[in-house]
């Protein structure tokens, strides 16, 4: 069966510090991968998605970046965090090709920038 894991689960970072969130998927090949952010009490905001290694699409211009160094690994990074980067970050995957589009989510990473 397929599993998705992201880490760390919780982190508190000072403004201006770097960020790295990691996500890995097991049990499937060539998945579509996604990074979402959810502010408190708000909906899901798509940040990045990837259909293959090295292929990243950015939905929202910001100081965040994403990379996909391996087929089932997706990394969210920042060189200098802003207060507005605080939120709940979710990694997700879906089956590539003309499937339904159903998303399977990781456990989430709660980031607090102070």
Partner 1 sequence: GQNIDQPTEMTATEGAIVQINCTYQTSGFNGLFWYQQHAGEAPTFLSYNVLDGLEEKGRFSSFLSRSKGYSYLLLKELQMKDSASYLCAFSDSNYQLIWGAGTKLIIKP
Which residues sit at the interface with partner 1, rule CB under 8 A?
A: 41-44, 46, 49, 88, 90, 94, 98-108, 110
**Smaller CB distance to partner 1: residue 106 or 113?**
106
Residues β-bridged to residue 65: 77
**Smaller CB distance to partner 1: residue 83 or 98?**
98
Q: How far apart are CA 49 and CA 112, in angstroms?
A: 23
DSSP structural state of residue 106: -
**Smaller CB distance to partner 1: residue 11 or 103?**
103
Q: How far is the CB of 79 from partner 1 (least distance, A)?
A: 27
**Smaller CB distance to partner 1: residue 46 or 53?**
46
CA-closest candidate to residue 13, choices 75, 74, 83: 83
Q: How far apart are CA 51 and CA 94, in angstroms?
A: 10
Q: How far is the CB of 30 from partner 1 (least distance, A)?
A: 14
Q: How far is the CB of 29 from partner 1 (least distance, A)?
A: 17
As given in the structure block, the two tokens for residue 16 are 């201006």
Q: How far is the CB of 16 from partner 1 (least distance, A)?
A: 27
Terminal-residue alpha carbon distance, the chain:
39
């Amino acid at each position: 069966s397929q599993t998705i894991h992201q880490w760390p689960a919780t982190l508190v970072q000072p403004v201006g510090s770097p960020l790295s969130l990691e996500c890995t998927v097991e049990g499937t090949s060539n998945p579509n991968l996604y990074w979402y952010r959810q502010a408190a009490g708000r909906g899901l905001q798509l940040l990045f998605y990837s259909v293959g290694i090295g292929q990243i699409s950015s939905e929202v211009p910001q100081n965040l970046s994403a990379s996909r160094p391996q087929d089932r690994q997706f990394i969210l990074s920042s060189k200098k965090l802003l207060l507005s980067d605080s939120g709940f970050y979710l990694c997700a995957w879906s089956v590539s090709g003309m499937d339904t589009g159903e998303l399977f989510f990781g456990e989430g990473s709660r980031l607090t920038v102070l």
